[in-house]
Structure 1
């Protein structure tokens, strides 16, 4: 399983598929995640499917985390999947996405520095109406997290899913912490997506393992670019910190620009990516190599 210390490297804006196969180490990771958020003045939500809420809170207290006062103030909230994702008796992807937007608005309004969420996803293996849209939901959630205020740790028990299922789910996350992550060397999210008023900033690496996550955010960016008024500055995809992108990602980027002529630009591509872009669209490659304001 992923090492518990991997959760220490998450920042607001991150959305990570975190896999485990041991409940004791899963608990240790959750407590670290909780402790870090409380110390930073963030609101912490945990949607549990592995532990009973009272049992988890007692364990966190035993680990040395004072949970009673944060619970009283609302800074810490622990609920079950039935009370959150399945509150309507089924999984409704759009309702869940609206729930994230509302939770972010509440946390901002209450003055928290960020919103930090951990979610056990074991409930997704049950025969639940709407569950076939899980991967779509995870990909669309990146549009919300890319705003840079909320972070999410989606906890998937490897024993409940096939490798193919986990691959499908992980592609909807910008980063995945799989078995062994952080055990021998420091781990960091593979890709970070940050959306600002000027566009989108990419940092890290992008390939088929997180392609659906990037596609979801680019789709949102394209929609916004199409709404720009004539004469408005184009939106920018800042590639300066994108250290690697495979050919499929290069095509995805060029396709987004082609869908919004003059309204969406690529900037700051490194030489290796610029070469790939040149194969697809030489003109776009020249533009992407130029410097531009980061998103």
Structure 2
């Protein structure tokens, strides 16, 4: 199954973010349908954590070796090799995490993760993040109901914002019922693929709108333009138009120019919710000359 097999779990609702927006204190769900798709996410997850000065723990399928991990995330660059040598990046397994115990219990796992995140802070890192491939469930022969209950009850791990966790489910190994429940249970859900773009349209008393999540670049420009055109097509003259870009990881100049061109072509008052970086891009391209356009910059969003 290709990566697209996991896309049905990435609905781009208010909980959906690109992997590059994963932050301390978050508990996320990801589904993947191919090894290549998983490695793209792992690589971005690792790099983002290191950039945020976090300690990064990667728990993958038990067959994955340290050499394979570094090869697949291009870890032989000087910066990543240095992170590996100083212990900021590490590969482990659920067996090693709960050792010397052999059986999984939620409390046992929680205690160990809390210990590791506390150690990371003492070592000078801002937090710890863990990528956990749920292949460990089969490897340890763990009762799936116990694991699902653990996922529903793990909120206390994240209250101090010193730990974040991304739980990755291979949709070739888990049933649709399990994946649906885990998608619903996790507070944060990841887009299925790095570089993807998703749009959610809405229409109501406050006008028509669209929320865009992921990356708006040359690879997704056609999708970006179609999403804007769909929203414009649902807007009656004079009705407010709301465009939410704040969940985009990247806004390219081409997509930004398309947005300004379409905004200038309609009489509807248009509000664009965006990050400070996106606002600078839009201003450089002439946002100030579009009379009907208002930019609302979200506090604390610099990407």
TM-score, length of structure 1 as denominator length: 0.57
Cα distance, 1:109 vs structure 2: 1.0
Preserved contact between residue 91 and residue 131 of structure 1 (Cα < 8 Å): no
- Show the counterpart of 1:7: 19
Match of 1:109 among 106, 111, 122: 122
- Show the counterpart of 1:28: 40
CA distance, structure 2, for counterparts of residue 149 and residue 173 of structure 1:
18
Cα distance, 1:131 vs structure 2: 4.3
Preserved contact between residue 9 and residue 187 of structure 1 (Cα < 8 Å): no
- Show the counterpart of 1:187: 213
CA shift digits 1:193-231 (9 cap, x unpaired): xxxxxxxxxxxxxxxxxxxxxxxxxxxxxxxxxxxxxxx
Which protein has the larger Cα radius of gyration, Structure 1 or Structure 2? Answer: 2
Preserved contact between residue 46 and residue 78 of structure 1 (Cα < 8 Å): yes
- Count of paired positions: 187
Match of 2:168 among 155, 159, 165: 155
CA distance, structure 2, for counterparts of residue 112 and residue 52 of structure 1:
25
Matches within 5 A, 1:1-295: 1=6, 6-49=18-61, 51-61=64-74, 64=77, 66-84=79-97, 88-126=101-139, 128-177=141-190, 179=192, 183-185=196-198, 186-187=212-213
- Show the counterpart of 1:231: none
Name stretches of at least 5 consecutive residues in structure 1 with no aligned partner.
Answer: 189-295
- Larger mean CA deviation between 80-89 and 10-19 belongs to 80-89
CA distance, structure 2, for counterparts of residue 104 and residue 15 of structure 1:
14
| 3-state secondary structure, aligned to 1:30 | helix
Cα distance, 1:114 vs structure 2: 1.6
Q: Go from structure 1 to structure 2 and tell me whether the alpha carbon gap of 1:53 and 1:140 turns closer, same or farther (over 3 Å shift).
A: farther
| 3-state secondary structure, aligned to 2:157 | helix
- Larger mean CA deviation between 61-70 and 5-14 belongs to 61-70
Cα distance, 1:64 vs structure 2: 4.6
Cα distance, 1:7 vs structure 2: 0.7
Cα distance, 1:8 vs structure 2: 0.4
Preserved contact between residue 17 and residue 173 of structure 1 (Cα < 8 Å): yes
Give the root-mean-square deviation of aligned CA atoms.
2.7
Preserved contact between residue 19 and residue 194 of structure 2 (Cα < 8 Å): no
CA distance, structure 1, for counterparts of residue 125 and residue 153 of structure 2:
24
CA distance, structure 1, for counterparts of residue 65 and residue 147 of structure 2:
23
Cα distance, 1:129 vs structure 2: 4.2
Preserved contact between residue 17 and residue 176 of structure 1 (Cα < 8 Å): yes
